Structure 1
């Protein structure tokens, strides 16, 4: 781009799934960042140790819906603003239609924010390609998971963790050999043991970012193949031992797998997928999550 904020600062853009961020100007620790969100994209602010910035949003186009801690919602429209100094709670915003806003922070964050997001988004896309899914798999899982999380009344902090964990739930598969990951037939016992490690690898990869949000999401990623009856992996957790957010991902991931074309099966209808999930209520899947999911408008 050729437009300049001043002699030292140029506009820099980073594009991720559903979100494009562009640095407009920076100076004296302050950054002004333009955000462009596709419909139903979520964006969040969270408290962080040692972070004392003023953070300000001004809506240019569209609407942002904010879920409050008490479960109620507030909608910010074009011309509205939101600010906190410092951030002491978790705030999860959802775009209603195409939305753009200006984000101002009095402490620099753009390069850390963009570099980590770009790295992890690339990992997620590479997993979709290696594992035979379409490029929208991670986004679909996140969207469905958030619908369930909102329906059961998760807090803003839990919704934020769920959003990250659901999008990156299979990121650990980057460390699984391709001959196992893409094998068209049934895995051997040895191969299955290696495949099951992808949940642990996922937690490790997210912990390596050292970002508190992603570290916490890693714990959920590690559990998303645990089963309600205790027969899942990697630890054989059961019932309430399993994080409810991991139980949500388990259900929506199964639904997406059933309704997607894979190398080993043709896609089945939404109705067939819901019936299959209901059939495994209380064994594979958390009963409450199954009931809530079954009543969503899919």
Structure 2
């Protein structure tokens, strides 16, 4: 067993569910310590011009491939994994608090740190604007992961769903608080303003200079589209809407109905499930609704925590 102490860290950055610390660095190699909270996700993905050897060694806890990849067994303490170079997306999920070493033959930490810090600023901006929104986004991510895996999404789709579900409401940071927190019904003018948040979110992510966030910007813009074309901001219909956005739409609505809001007291889960069924094929993608209802017990297990 390798023991890592904080005094060994050269530099550390931390975002919700993830702590990343540089242990050693040279012009050609870096060793980076990772600590993931239970249920947090981490991914390796290919990048043009990036030819590094990338190696993982699990120190404690467990990393499972998410979704399950029969070519990559779950990694427990003492297990390792490497690719040279990475040619496909590998998404891992922590089972319990998990620590691992990540070794790369091309320096990455400072760019990594910049990306994490920019993500931290986005998270802080959401929390500062509306604490409810941050907690809501965390629940949406956990529920979306359940649905995405059950629907057979591949690792790249799961990675995009994970990020898009968490940042789906980031555009609300530019919505005035008197609208965002209004206890009563919004006026027509206020609704016009509120309906801008998906496009604002897309613009924020595309302007973040973080390629992986920019790649999910369109999903974020689509999360209030409807299957029948009556949603916003573009009135997309059916398969014009990405499956990731269709999942977020269902999960977002369920969470909104079953939690207290400034304008509405929570409804029962049974009410929410029935409402989703009533709107199957109109507001919501029928396949997503069917899978959501099928996974009712798992959904309740997460939403009630």
Alignment of 1:134-173 (within 5 A): 135-173=134-172
Residue 220 of structure 1 corresponds to which residue in structure 2?
A: 219
C-alpha contact 1:132 1:263 (8 A) present in aligned 2: no
- Distance in 1, Cα, partners of 2:188 & 2:116: 35
For residues 243 and 115 of structure 1, the distance between their equivalents in structure 2, rounded to whole angstroms, comes to: 29
Any conservation in 2 of the 1:227–1:236 contact (CA below 8 Å)? Answer: yes
Tell me the residue number matched to 2:118.
Answer: 119
SS of match in other structure, 2:216: helix
Q: State the Cα deviation string for residues 87-111 of structure 1 (Å, max 9, x = none).
A: 1100000111111101111222222
In the alignment, structure 1 segments of 5+ residues that lack a partner are 5-9
CA pair 193-72 structure 1, distance change in 2 beyond 3 A: farther
Where structure 2 has 5 or more consecutive residues not aligned to the other structure, the ranges are: 300-305
TM-score normalised per structure 1: 0.92
Aligned match of 2:292: 293
Write the distance in 1 (CA, Å) between the matches of 2:57 and 2:199.
40
**1:52 aligned residue:** 51
Pairing 1:58-207 to 2, within 5 Å after superposition: 58-67=57-66, 74-131=73-130, 133=132, 135-207=134-206
Counterpart CA distance in 2 for 1:237 and 1:195 is 18
Deviation at 1:271, TM superposition (A): 2.4
* Other-structure match for 2:7: 3
Deviates more, 1:159-168 or 1:128-137: 128-137
Summarize the Cα distance change of 1:31–1:81 in structure 2 as closer, same or farther, 3 Å threshold.
same
SS at match of 1:226: coil
Do the aligned partners of 1:44 and 1:91 also contact (CA within 8 Å) in 2? yes
Give the superposition deviation at 1:125. 4.3
Q: Could you tell me which residue of structure 2 aligns to residue 7 of structure 1?
A: none
For these two proteins, the number of residue pairs brought into alignment is 293
Alignment check: 8 A CA contact 2:171 2:202 kept: yes
